[in-house]
């Protein structure tokens, strides 16, 4: 049974990793001081702590279907509350929106009519909050082959969420005072590489030794 493997893992964690790092967990019990707000997809293949080699307490993580951030004032308040808490209460200075290759949410968005009966809640989520990305793809990239189309959709979805972040008062205020930096990333599952949006080049480029901060406002973004 899969759950037994999970329980075995819990016991292994407690008896070994926790015991060997007891001092770190004691320190964490007194509060959190994460360095980065990391927004990514719920996809089981994505582990923010694994791919960034971070420790517990380093990242404040928001995850949902398609790494989507509804614009400020939207009916869904959960993501907004997380953003507000991370920046106001925890004073994070960097926000990463990280999409990923082979994203099921973006595949669903490209064929959204098929979701209405089978997964009505997923349909409503994407219909309401992924429509700007879907419309951009439909109007500008319909002649592209499906694999290229999916790649563009994944990239444009991340850039849309960067734009949506800019609608939050706390984000705009911190960007204005240069106390906050936004980053647009794509994690490629099959290679383990991360690509960051380079606004100067107007495209996602492999992330090596330096970040590509996203300017505000984000103007003229496109895929190549």
- For the stretch 115-151, pLDDT in tens is 999 999 999 999 999 999 999 999 999 899 988 999 9
Q: How far apart are the C-alpha atoms of 222 and 155, rounded to whole Å?
A: 9
pLDDT at 221 over 60: no
Q: How far apart are the C-alpha atoms of 196 and 172, rounded to whole Å?
A: 21
pLDDT at 9 over 90: yes
Burial class (CB in 10 A: 0-12, 13-18, 19+), 85: middle
Percent with pLDDT over 90 in the chain: 86
SS (H, E, C) the chain: CHHHHHHHHHHHHHHHHHHHCHHHHHHHCCCCCCCEEEEEECCCCCCHHHHHCCCCCCEEEEEECCCCCCCCCCCCCHHHHHHHHHHHHCCCCEEEEEEECCCHHHHHHHCHHHHHHHCHHHHHHHHHHCHHHHHHHHHHCCCCCHHHHHHHHHHHHHHHHHHHHCCCHHHHHHHHCCCCEEEEEEEECCCCEEEEEECCCCEEEECCCCCCCECCCCCCCCCC
Residue 43's closest CA among 68, 69, 61, 63?
Answer: 63
Q: For 155-170, what is the mean pLDDT?
A: 97
- How would you classify the pairing of strands 94-100 and 36-41? parallel
Q: For 164-189, what is the mean pLDDT?
A: 96
pLDDT band per the 50, 70, 90 thresholds, residue 219: very low
- Judge contact between 72 and 168, C-beta under 8 A: yes
The pLDDT, as a whole number, for residue 192 is: 96
The pLDDT, as a whole number, for residue 215 is: 61
The pLDDT, as a whole number, for residue 76 is: 86
Q: For 175-194, what is the mean pLDDT?
A: 96
Q: For 166-180, what is the mean pLDDT?
A: 95
The pLDDT, as a whole number, for residue 218 is: 47
pLDDT band per the 50, 70, 90 thresholds, residue 44: very high
User: Whole-angstrom distance between the N-terminal and C-terminal Cα of the chain?
Assistant: 45
The pLDDT, as a whole number, for residue 148 is: 95
The pLDDT, as a whole number, for residue 89 is: 97
Q: For 154-167, what is the mean pLDDT?
A: 97
Tell me the whole-structure pTM to 2 decimals: 0.92
pLDDT at 69 over 60: yes
Q: How far apart are the C-alpha atoms of 15 and 164, rounded to whole Å?
A: 43
């Amino acid at each position: 049974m899969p759950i037994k493997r999970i329980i075995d893992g819990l016991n292994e964690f407690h008896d070994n990793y926790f015991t060997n790092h007891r001092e770190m967990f004691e320190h964490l019990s007194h509060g959190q001081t994460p360095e980065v707000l990391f927004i990514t997809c719920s996809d089981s293949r994505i582990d923010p702590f694994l791919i960034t080699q971070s420790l517990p307490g380093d990242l404040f993580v928001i995850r949902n279907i398609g790494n989507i951030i509804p614009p400020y004032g939207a009916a869904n308040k959960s993501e907004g509350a997380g953003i507000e808490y991370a920046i106001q209460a925890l004073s994070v200075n960097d926000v990463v929106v990280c999409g990923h290759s082979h994203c099921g949410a973006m595949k669903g968005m490209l064929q959204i009519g098929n979701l209405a009966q089978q997964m009505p809640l997923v349909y409503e989520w994407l219909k309401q909050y992924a429509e700007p990305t879907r419309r951009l793809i439909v109007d500008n990239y319909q002649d592209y082959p499906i694999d290229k189309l999916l790649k563009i959709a994944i990239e444009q979805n991340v850039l849309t969420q960067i734009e949506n972040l800019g609608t939050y008062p706390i984000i705009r205020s911190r960007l204005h005072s240069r106390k906050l930096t936004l980053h647009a990333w794509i994690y490629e599952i099959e290679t383990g590489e991360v690509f960051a949006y380079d606004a100067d080049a107007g495209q996602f480029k492999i992330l090596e030794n330096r970040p590509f901060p996203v300017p505000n406002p984000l103007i003229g973004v496109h895929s190549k």
